[in-house]
Structure 1
Amino acid sequence: MTTLSEVTLSVLDLAPIRKDGSIRETLDNTVTLAQTVEALGYHRFWMAEHHNISGIASAATSVLIGHVAGQTSTMRIGSGGIMLPNHPPLVIAEQFGTLATLYPDRIDLGLGRAPGSDGATMQAMRRHPRAGVDDFPEQLAELQRYLGDASPGQRVQAVPGQGTHVPIWLLGSSGYSAQLAARLGLPFAFAGQFAPGYMHEALRLYREQFQPSETLKAPWAMLGIPVLLADTDERAHWLATTQQQKFLNLMRGQSTHLLPPVDNMDWMPHERMAVQQNLGATIVGSPDTARQQLDRLLEETGVNELMINTDAYSLEDRLTSYRLLAELQQ
């Protein structure tokens, strides 16, 4: 069983845009957050591809990864994830091959197969509605060819990219990617930050079906979870209303900009239940409370790594939460 002192801690930053804030503020905050958690000893810093979502500024994920990598020095920087069916595999290989050349041994390529957007945005990206549904393994294999050593007579090569062997992770919120990662011997990350309901089953499938590969000899499971720590339980739960409002507004089809905390949530019983289900893996509280919750989560899941996402309205509260969590490992 993995303990809190043994688990690898990493960070997922969704580049949240605050109400009355700006995109430039968000991107500056992303750099500050990355530099801070690097100093605290976090292992990875990942960003995710989302499109046409008013409260998220990481649509040009590869560009932002390069920006953050250039402002840090030791931490691994990567995608959590790139939605592969949105792009030709050759283009992703060229982008991440370039990143890996600029920042050797620091770039991760986490891949998903969802659109990261709605139907209208899929059309705007020229993505076929069935893309990734039936052909994701073939797209992944093509990408791996472009990042691996060139084969004799290979007519199309990724330059840069070929021979960089950028580490690939599969991301998912169901059993599909868990089983594909197991079959290919790749590391697997489960998106518990928004879909915790299938968490245990996906992790079980991954471990039971895992086949060793040149990439990985034993399964390596990462779990994405929302975490928000503060000096007291009361303050942590108050700060957590920012994240609750974001999910509530997402359900209602409204703006997902980060909103300041509120004393009382304005929601219907069924909305409250739905938000709580989406955030079912959330860790909220003081350090003592969070330690108990984290110990229980690690006992239940046995994951090797936690990918922490913290939604708080102010950057200072986000930094405090990551600092308090890092101190729990000491």
Structure 2
Amino acid sequence: MRYSLLDVAWVGPGETPADALRGAVPLAQAAERSGYERVWYAEHHNMPQIASAATSVLIAHVAAHTERIRVGAGGVMLPNHTPLVIAEHYGTLAALHPGRIDLGLGRAAGSDQNTARALRVTSASAAAFPQDVLELRGFLTGEPALAGVRAVPGHGSNVPLYILGSSLFGAQLAAALGLPYAFASHFAPAALDAAARTYRSTYQPSPEHPGPYLIVSANVVAAETEEEAAEQHQVSVRYRARMLLPRGPQLTDADIDSALDSPMGQQIKAMHAHTAVGTPVQVQAQLAELAERAEADELMLAPAAVDRRDRIRSVELVPAPVRLPSP
């Protein structure tokens, strides 16, 4: 089982986006020390608590401050961009950091309606996602669909592509294209089982990927004691509820706890159903159970503690399982 890290450069209480971006480096370095396969950054817009909107810039910064771990997007919301520009961005990253760059692709705009307007995104943009993936793949493999147009850098770089999703659509597309699939069960767990079955049962082998490869994400709160982990988890749930509940920032902890028992609060808690909480031994056992249930090839962990030091400590306490050489 491989472990990887999912980060959005959380802007914690009292922090600025600059603090969050600087803090991305020690978290990635902790993941590298713990034997994680990759670290991915997610594209979100108009969200004050998330500083990872410019994924390619953040990837370049983190890759320059790490040595082995793969660094990539988890993901780029392709409807917000043209395939040629993304091929150039990630081709540049691959040229600067050979063999270490990943490119995960999603079809959601990752924003509200007004932000979508600011991004010049329309309903047709999302509908074109499958074709845009093919166009992007052509630019990266050096077989562009548009005659006479090359991505420089990017042409022939073969930056690995991954399809991201939280529904059956992404599973079906990844299977049809013969690409690895990453399911966002850290915030949208409901369709995990159906998506995993669909992806594996309908997978069409490709030259690069003769078999399916499934990445499943999960939130993680690990601490030296069970009580400490439970406390960090409670603070994390309250923090996220404040972002989603009406008047959330004005509510006290008692108000938040009461609101979490409401129907809307239950929906918020359900979003984080796949969260491993406890001591390192407990967390590893919970992660193993999730991996077995989904038949996952890799788990992508999203440290959920609010305090940056606690997120780093979670990664240090939950190292990737040692991979033994094949006999």
Q: Is TM (by shorter chain) over 0.5?
A: yes
Distance 1:301 1:245 in 2: 28
Q: Is the 8 A contact 1:38 1:74 kept in 2?
A: yes
1:137 equivalent to 2:130? Answer yes
In the alignment, structure 1 residue 105 sits paired with structure 2 residue 108: no
Asked if 1:265 corresponds to 2:279, the answer is no
Counterpart residue number, 1:290? 283
Q: 1:225 to 1:268 in 2, by over 3 A?
A: closer
Match of 2:55 in 1: 61
Counterpart of 1:19 (choices 2, 13, 18) is 13
Structure 1 unpaired stretches of 5+: 1-6
Distance 1:254 1:226, change over 3 A: farther
Shift of 1:250: 3.4
Partners of 1:210 and 1:325 in 2: CA distance: 31
Structure 1 residues 143 and 231, CA gap change in structure 2 (3 angstroms): same
Instruction: Tell me the alpha carbon deviations over residues 220-278 of structure 1, each in whole angstroms, 9 at most, x when there is no partner.
Output: 0000110111112211111012331243133325679xxxx999834242233112210
Query: Which whole-Å deviations, capped at 9, do the CAs of 1:295-323 have from their partners, x for residues lacking one?
Result: 32122112000000012222221121111
Query: Structure 1 runs of 4+ off > 6 angstroms?
Result: 261-264
Matches within 5 A, 1:88-167: 88-132=82-126, 134-150=127-143, 154-167=147-160
> Partner residue of 2:46?
52
Matches of 1:46 and 1:327 in 2, distance apart?
16
The structure-2 alpha-carbon separation of the partners of 1:146 and 1:124, relative to structure 1 and needing over 3 Å to count, comes to same
Residue 212 (1) aligns with residue 196 (2) = no
TM-score under structure 1 normalisation? 0.91
Counterpart secondary structure, 1:91: helix
Alpha carbons 1:241, 1:265 under 8 Å: kept: no
User: Number of residues paired by the alignment?
Assistant: 321
Structure 2 residue matching 1:296: 3-state secondary structure: helix
Residue in structure 2 matching 1:300, options 273, 293, 296: 293
Give 3-state SS (helix, strand or coil) of 1:226's partner.
strand
Provide the C-alpha distance between the structure 2 equivalents of 1:131 and 1:63, rounded to a whole number of angstroms: 23
Partner Cα distance (2:33, 2:26) in 1: 11
Decide whether aligned partners of structure 1 residues 44 and 255 sit closer, same or farther in structure 2, where only a CA change above 3 A counts.
Answer: farther
Supply the RMSD in Å over aligned alpha carbons: 2.3
For residues 218-229 of structure 1, the aligned pairs below 5 Å read 218-229=211-222
Mapped contact 1:169–1:186 kept (Cα < 8 A): yes
SS in structure 1 opposite 2:257? coil
Deviation at 1:292, TM superposition (A): 2.8
Q: 1:31 to 1:262 in 2, by over 3 A?
A: farther
Separation of aligned partners in 1, 2:256 and 2:170 = 38
Conservation of the 8 A alpha-carbon contact between 1:287 and 1:328: no
Which ranges of structure 2 fall in alignment gaps of 5 or more residues? none
**How far 1:146 sits from its partner (Å)?**
0.9
AA matched with 2:311: R
Determine helix, strand or coil for the equivalent of 1:326: coil
Please identify, of 62-71 and 122-131, the stretch whose mean Cα deviation from structure 2 is larger: 122-131
Conserved in 1, the CA contact under 8 Å of 2:216 and 2:291?
A: no
Judged with a 3 Å threshold, the aligned counterparts in structure 2 of structure 1 residues 255 and 266 are, in CA distance, closer, same or farther, namely closer
Cα distance in 2, alignment partners of residues 135 and 153 from structure 1:
16
Partner of 1:4: none
- Seen in structure 2, the aligned counterparts of structure 1 residues 220 and 327 have a Cα distance that, compared at 3 Å, is closer
User: Does the C-alpha gap of structure 1 residues 152 and 285 become closer, same or farther in structure 2, counting only changes over 3 Å?
Assistant: closer
Counterpart of 1:3 in structure 2 is: none
| In structure 2, C-alpha distance between the alignment counterparts of 1:295 and 1:160, rounded to whole Å | 40
Deviation per CA, 1:137-194, whole angstroms, max 9, x where unpaired? 1111111111112469821111111110100000000000111101111000000010
Output the amino acid matched with 1:68.
V
- Once the two structures are TM-superposed, the CA of residue 291 in structure 1 deviates from its matched residue by 2.9
Task: Answer with 60-69 or 286-295: which moved more.
Answer: 286-295
Secondary structure (helix, strand or coil) at the match of 2:219 reads strand
1:310 and 2:303 matched: yes
Aligned to 1:188: 181
